[in-house]
């Protein structure tokens, strides 16, 4: 007995498709993170310590991290925080003053660091250095107002005029993480979190069976179960690409499989002229049903489109075959008459409709109330029932 399982094949297809979609969604989130919020991205990726970097190598606009253990004093404030002097060095190892802006939230800790700095300078005891502030921020130019307050402080502290030459022309602006999250980039962060959440949710659905609900509902109308469908397609009589034909149904194995009941088909025809889709050519097999549905399958060659139609027609010979303008007119304007003509025609009428319909095949797909547009199958291989079974058995191995 063949080990071929149409339900397992649908499950594998669904898993691959949904995992691929999840990956694409995740990559979209990553791209947005790097394009739309570069400031936030650079903030979290900052890995260079500003307090151990030579001031000669400072780069304005670049984000740094660091842990602040030493501060000399605060020489000015504004509504958001205070401006402090911290020790720095140049490439030659000479002492310099780095202006550091610290938000009001850290004022008390900054004052404690100032006290421990002077105690350390007096004793040289490293055990005194118990207070610190972990920070991330960026380097910016020092404006004239900040320079003025800095120089006034130096004069007040009794430092020589030459001390002004040792002040770096760049200041470090401590930027707390909550400020980043609540800034204009917060909106983009929210979007990114939603996108990443969507990627995770999509990946999870790859391992659930919710995708089978529409198929189950369709089968329930025919008093069938998934097990019944598996048994029916255990040995399919015809297969082209991802389209399988049994004695009763046609099914296309996709993440959202479409199921066509063969005995419901009242009119069918292949379109033998390619429809461009990017760089590929697509051919269609159209199937109209007595439920006023149109199911179409896309294939890669005109031959496979025609063979699929003929395969179904051999199982439903009463259906009208080939594109005839009168059939199209009846389908849209006199549908019940068309259904009656198919299911109540004599054998002679049936043979005549087949003969006439085969003579005229449209060069372009006609407008149809297509319920779903199926995905493009891989390169078409027309297989015999035995070769289908053998191929699937190999896949399972």
Q: What is the pLDDT of residue 324?
A: 83
Q: How far is residue 208's CA from residue 19's CA, in Å, rounded to a whole number?
A: 12
For the entire predicted model, the pTM comes to: 0.51
Q: 133 versus 383: which is more confidently predicted?
A: 133
Q: What is the pLDDT of residue 250?
A: 92
Q: What is the mean pLDDT of residues 245-268?
A: 88
Q: Which two tokens stand for residue 78?
A: 């504004």
Tell me how far CA of residue 348 lies from CA of 280, 314, 360, in angstroms: 41, 16, 20
Tell me how far CA of residue 208 lies from CA of 13, 29, 224, 259, 335, in angstroms: 13, 24, 21, 21, 40
pLDDT in tens, 61-74: 889 999 999 999 99
* 239 neighbors 246 (Cβ within 8 angstroms): no
Residue 141 pLDDT > 70, yes or no? yes
pLDDT in tens, 21-74: 889 998 988 887 777 666 677 788 888 999 999 999 999 888 999 999 999 999
Q: What is the pLDDT of residue 186?
A: 64
pLDDT band at 8 (very low <50, low <70, confident <90, very high): confident
Cβ partners under 8 Å of residue 26, min gap 6 = 195, 196, 199
Residue 165 pLDDT > 90, yes or no? yes
Q: 370 versus 144: which is more confidently predicted?
A: 144
- DSSP H or E segment with residue 19: helix 6-35
Q: Which two tokens stand for residue 101?
A: 């802006």
Q: What angle do CA 284, 286, 292 make, to 5 degrees?
A: 150
pLDDT in tens, 173-218: 998 877 776 665 667 777 888 888 988 888 887 777 777 788 888 8
Q: What is the pLDDT of residue 33?
A: 73
Q: What is the pLDDT of residue 274?
A: 65
Of the chain, the end-to-end C-alpha distance in Å amounts to 15
């Amino acid at each position: 007995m063949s080990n071929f399982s149409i339900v397992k094949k649908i499950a594998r297809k669904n898993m691959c498709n949904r995992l691929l979609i999840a990956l694409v969604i995740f990559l979209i989130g990553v791209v947005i993170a790097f394009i739309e919020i570069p400031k936030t991205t650079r903030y979290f990726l900052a890995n260079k310590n500003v307090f151990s970097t030579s001031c000669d190598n400072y780069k304005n606009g670049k984000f740094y991290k660091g842990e602040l253990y030493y501060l000399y004093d605060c020489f000015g404030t504004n509504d958001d925080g205070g401006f402090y002097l911290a020790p720095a060095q140049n490439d030659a190892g000479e002492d310099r003053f780095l202006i550091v802006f610290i938000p009001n939230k850290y004022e008390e800790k900054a004052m404690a660091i100032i006290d421990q700095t002077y105690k350390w300078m007096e004793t040289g005891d490293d055990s005194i250095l118990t207070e610190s502030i972990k920070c991330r921020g960026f380097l910016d130019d020092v404006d004239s107002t900040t320079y003025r307050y800095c120089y006034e402080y130096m004069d007040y502290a009794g430092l020589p005029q030459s001390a002004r030459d040792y002040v770096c022309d760049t200041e470090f602006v401590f930027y707390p993480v909550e400020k980043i999250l609540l800034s204009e980039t917060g909106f983009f962060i929210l979007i990114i979190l939603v996108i990443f959440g969507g990627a995770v949710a999509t990946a999870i659905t790859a391992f659930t069976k919710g995708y089978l609900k529409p198929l189950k509902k369709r089968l329930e109308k025919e008093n069938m179960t998934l097990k019944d469908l598996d048994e029916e397609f255990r040995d399919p009589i015809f297969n082209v690409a991802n389209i399988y034909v049994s004695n009763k149904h046609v099914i296309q194995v996709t993440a959202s499989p479409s199921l066509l009941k063969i005995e419901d088909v009242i009119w069918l025809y292949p379109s033998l002229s390619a429809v461009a889709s990017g760089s590929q050519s697509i051919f269609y097999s159209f199937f109209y049903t007595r439920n006023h549905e149109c199911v179409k399958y896309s294939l890669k060659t005109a031959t496979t489109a025609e063979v699929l139609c003929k395969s179904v027609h051999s199982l439903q010979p009463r259906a009208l075959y080939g594109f005839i303008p009168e059939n199209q007119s009846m389908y849209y304007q006199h549908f019940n008459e068309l259904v009656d003509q198919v299911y109540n025609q004599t054998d002679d009428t049936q043979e005549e409709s087949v003969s006439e319909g085969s003579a005229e095949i449209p060069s372009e797909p006609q407008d149809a109330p297509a319920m779903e547009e199926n995905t493009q199958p891989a390169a078409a291989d027309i297989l015999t029932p035995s070769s289908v079974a053998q191929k699937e058995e190999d896949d399972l191995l």
